[in-house]
Structure 1
């Protein structure tokens, strides 16, 4: 029996996701310049010809992964705009990141891919958009930290430096997830936010969020 249009579309989408997952892992671990289409095909368990049915080149695949990253960074920045309570906003962001990093290597690979790509010898035009999105996220986080300081929720300090410290912690978690694999154990929200959130009289471990 011939497959329906819907079945073909599902198969096509599944294949594309498999290619993107393989590309993401290789770009993260080897970098853009040292990764080739043949390796991506082998990792995905498909032929190179099938890859070219979905992506015209390695550059196009990389570009789509970067576009996905930019979308996620934009969504993350919106979280910092959507709460009256700075503590709740950071708790929501932190909880989501902890779960995503713990549950699979995908988010960690995105972090590593971005870091590697920034230092690629070959200039990658897509990185300009990543830097722009990263800076927006840092600025939104810094603005929310400053708001939290004025509300008495956060500890004193340079808001931008504190925002960079927060995301450095997250980056470190992502790197350790890839390094340790299944042995990785995620920290608690309170441990990550301890440098930022003021303790109140009567607070107990686990009160954040």
Structure 2
């Protein structure tokens, strides 16, 4: 098996542990935990398989380190976007290396798909941060009140994850070969328009759906 390209590995001044960790993030995100082997990780990191074992002990322990690393980065970004200055910084960070940013999201999505123990931490943390931002916005008047803030937080995380990991047919439908700055700019503005202005001109649909749910609830009693 030929070694995969050296994607996701930073400059040569990284420590061996960081190189191995970054290589593992690439493989786990792209290939999944089960299909990733330590020899492939070692080849991508430019080290021996024995060195991987020496530093991390096992693939499970390496995955735990990767989980903690990616979670820390994503939580920091989630907290940074809570204010305009932080959002600008996160945007600059993304534009400087969009592939790395997307890879971290793919890693998290892969953890969720595989129902790894870390998935619950990933989801709970991001939803919790999103809910905190929403409640703060509702309190200061920058965000409209919601009938279910927790559900809105889950929806917010879901939209963010799905946008960053759009399937190729969907990216091609917008004229792009993959997820990148151009695609995110094109889809990001309509998303913000939807969040800012709403989509329906009135509450007819909302009232109809609410009435249907209320009627069903009464029938279940």
Range of TM-score over shorter length: 0.5 to 0.7
Aligned to 1:193: 192
1:154 to 143, 155, 162: 143
Contact 2:26–2:103 (CA<8 Å) still a contact in 1? Answer: yes
- Corresponding residue of 1:108: 102
Instruction: Return structure 1 stretches of 4+ with deviation > 6 angstroms.
Output: none
**Structure 2 Cα separation of the partners of residues 54 and 181 of structure 1:** 35
User: What secondary structure sits across from 2:117 in the alignment?
Assistant: coil
- Per the TM alignment, residue 16 of structure 1 is displaced from its structure 2 partner at its CA by 2.0
TM-score scaled by length of structure 2: 0.63
For 1:135-167, what per-residue CA distance to the aligned partner results, in whole angstroms no more than 9, with x for missing partners?
A: 32232133134235xx2x335644444434443
- The one of 165, 180, 199 equivalent to 1:175 is 165
Residue of 72, 79, 88 corresponding to 1:95: 88
Higher relative contact order (CA closer than 8 Å, sequence separation 6+)? 1
1:15-164 to 2 correspondences below 5 Å: 15-76=16-77, 78-79=79-80, 89-92=82-85, 94-102=87-95, 103-120=97-114, 124-147=116-139, 151=141, 153-155=142-144, 157-158=146-147, 159-164=149-154
The size of the alignment, in residue pairs, is 177
Distance 1:96 1:176 in 2: 23
Structure 2 unaligned residues grouped into runs of 5+: 1-11, 172-176, 199-221
Pick which of 188-197 and 27-36 moved more: 188-197
Distance 1:131 1:166 in 2: 12
Whether the aligned pair in 2 keeps the contact of 1:19 and 1:40 (CA below 8 Å) is yes
Task: For structure 1, list consecutive stretches of 5 or more residues without a partner in the other structure.
Answer: 1-10, 81-88, 200-209
Work out the CA distance in 1 between the residues paired with 2:131 and 2:41.
Answer: 35
Q: Secondary structure at the match of 2:125?
A: helix
